[in-house]
Amino acid sequence: MTYKQAESESFLLVLVCGMMKVSLNIKFEYDKVGNMSEIKCYLREDHIKVYKYRRRGYVPAILYGNGISKPISIYCDERLLVELLWANEQGSIVDLDVEGEKYRAVIQAVQLYEATGKLDHVDFMIH
C-alpha cells in the first residue's frame, strides 16, 4: 500500500492488487495522540454467510493464538479497519475489543479482493 497526503485530514489510498490499481479517498479521524491501535469487533454467527457481512460494510476476520482453545470468527467495520491498517502496518500489535473482551493481537495477514482492491479478510494472532 502507498499513499499521498492530499489534504491535512484526507489521504489518497492506492491499492495495488495483481495487475489492478485502485485509488480511494479516505478521511481519517485520529485520537488526540495521533495514532489508532484499538478497534471494536463483533462475534460472527455461523449461520450467516460472510458475503452478507461484506454487503453491510463489514470485513470478516479471525482471531487465534495462545490462550484460546479454538479460533474466534469476528467481523469489523470496514472503514475503521482501513484506518487501523493505515496507522499500523502488518505485524503491529493492536488492541481488539470483541464484545467487551479485550485482546492484544498482532496483525498477521491482510487479504484484499483482487477485482476491487477492497479488504477481503484479516487474521489477528493473539500476542
Residue spans of the domains in the chain: they are 33-126
First to last CA, the chain: 24
- Domain 33-126: which CATH number of 2.40.240.10, 2.70.170.10, 3.40.50.150, 3.30.70.60: 2.40.240.10
pTM (predicted TM-score)? 0.70
Give residue 31's pLDDT.
41
Whether the Cβ atoms of residue 12 and residue 25 lie closer than 8 Å to each other: yes
Determine the Cα–Cα distance for residues 74 and 121; give it in Å rounded to an integer.
10
Along the 127 residues of the chain, how does pLDDT read in single tens digits?
333 333 334 444 444 444 444 444 444 444 433 456 899 999 999 899 989 999 999 999 999 998 899 999 999 999 999 999 888 888 889 999 999 999 999 999 999 988 888 899 999 999 8
